[in-house]
Amino acid sequence: MKFLDEAKVYLKSGDGGDGVIAFRREKYIEFGGPDGGNGGRGGSVYAEAVEGLNTLIDYRYAQHFKARKGGNGAGSDRTGAASDDVVLKVPVGTQILDEDRETLIADLDEAGKRVLLCQGGDGGRGNAHYKTSTNRAPRRADKGWPGEERWVWLRLKLIADAGLVGLPNAGKSTFLAAVTAAKPKIADYPFTTLHPQLGVVRLNATEEFVLADIPGLIEGASEGAGLGTRFLGHVERCKVLLHLIDGSQADPAGAYRLIRHELTEYGAGLEDRPEIVVLNKLDAMTPQARTSRMKALERAVGAPVMLASGATGEGVPEILRRLMDMIRAKG
């Protein structure tokens, strides 16, 4: 299934049904009287977070959602039928923004969470409603109230316990494939991953967590360069960051500082998120290079770093155990 994390949709709730003018003309009712019924309520438009979805691809081609008009009233004081509501099913983690793409309407971060986006119009009053002691035969009935309409943006921010960040070709996809059942594209060129990938890491029968592979970031990502801020948004949901550094490159400390700078510039608390720094591609380094690059990276981080090889699995179990412990600590 194609991944889509942003969509613009048009919504319109249903107009209320019209009230009617009607009078009773029955054989044994001497004076008859008004009995025009009220109109029915128009359908409303809701958005609801549901399990089992992880993309907004359903809203790529179907972009207009309109609820039906309420039924008109009828004689014998009959009220028009209310119309069904329209419910947009979206993945858990979807944010709904106004047309300006900045004003947050709702954040559907839990399954079952629902928000009203357009209220259906109320039905108009029939002439029976206007009967009084001094106005015995009113000839007034109201049109239904109009529904609401608006454009909104749906923006998905994946909910994962831990997020893989790093420069392109840091080995994130290889690591994800090694520890989960996910099948990300893996190749020896940058930007192999163009969309976030999710996988479930199972340590044992009782311990598991969701790991997200975020597409590679580059210098200027926080200002829109490369894949830009679009995918930095997915990192916001992660409790812990797993920062992979390509150990086969000459300056791992510089790579670390670059990504940390982009996370800080983006904001949203990413710079304070707990992280595990891993010097990856252990199998591609000589013992001498491993020692020197690890020391340089530890000086840049200011804390011990871990070593791993996603290709061979060396060091991976220790990283997963530490990730699990940190996720539990975050609650």
Residue 89 annotated as binding site: no
Of 109, 135, 156, the residue that ends a domain is 156
The answer to whether 171 is annotated as binding is yes
Determine whether the annotation assigns residue 42 to a binding site: no
Known binder of ligand: residue 239? no
- Asked if pLDDT for residue 292 goes beyond 70, the answer is yes
pLDDT in tens, 95-104: 899 998 889 9
Q: Is 309 marked as a binding-site residue?
A: yes
Q: Could you say which of 156, 174, 192 is where a domain stops?
A: 156
* Residue 226 annotated as lining a ligand binding site: no
Residue 47 phi/psi, 5-degree rounding, is: -120, 140
Would residue 143 count as lying in a domain? yes
Statement to judge: residues 143 and 261 lie in one domain? no
Residues 190 and 132 in one domain: no
Under the banding of pLDDT at 50, 70 and 90, the label for residue 222 is: very low
pLDDT > 90: percent of the chain: 27
216 is in an annotated binding site: yes
215 is in an annotated binding site: yes
| Residue 1 counted as domain residue | no
Residue 179 and residue 148 share a domain: no
What CATH number is associated with residue 148? 2.70.210.12
Distance CA(111)–CA(107), nearest Å, equals 11
CB 83 within 8 Å of CB 71: yes
The tens digit of pLDDT for each residue in 48-87 reads 999 888 778 888 888 999 999 999 999 888 999 999 999 9
Residue 13 is assigned to a structural domain of this protein: yes
Confidence of residue 247 (pLDDT cuts 50, 70, 90): confident
pLDDT in the model for residue 73: 92
Is 283 marked within a binding site?
yes
Instruction: Flag whether 187 is marked binding.
Output: no
Q: Is 251 annotated as a binding residue?
A: no
Q: Which of 233, 196, 201 is nearest to 54 (CA)?
A: 196
Nearest by Cα to 194 from 203, 202, 204, 184? 184
Q: Is 218 annotated as a binding residue?
A: no
Pick from 327, 167, 136: which is nearest to 243 by CA? 167
- Do 121 and 187 sit in the same domain of this protein? no
Residue 99 to residues 135, 266, 329, Cα–Cα distance (Å): 48, 22, 38
Mean pLDDT of 272-284: 82
Last residue of a domain, one of 156, 181, 198: 156
70 in the same domain as 34: yes
Cβ of 13: how many Cβ atoms within 10 Å? 30
Annotated ligand binding at 286? The verdict is: no
CATH number at residue 219: 3.40.50.300
- Look up the domain containing 276 and give its range: 162-330
Does 323 count as an annotated binding residue? no
Q: Is 284 annotated as a binding residue?
A: no
Greater pLDDT, 170 or 115: 115
Segment 150-162 shows an average pLDDT of 84
Q: Which two tokens stand for residue 23?
A: 């009078």
- 147 with 12, same domain? yes
Residue 268 assigned to a binding site: no
pLDDT at 225 over 50: no
Q: Is 292 annotated as a binding residue?
A: no
For the ranges 66-75, 152-161, 200-209, the maximum mean pLDDT occurs at 66-75
295 annotated as a binding-site residue: no
Residues 134 and 223 grouped into a single domain: no
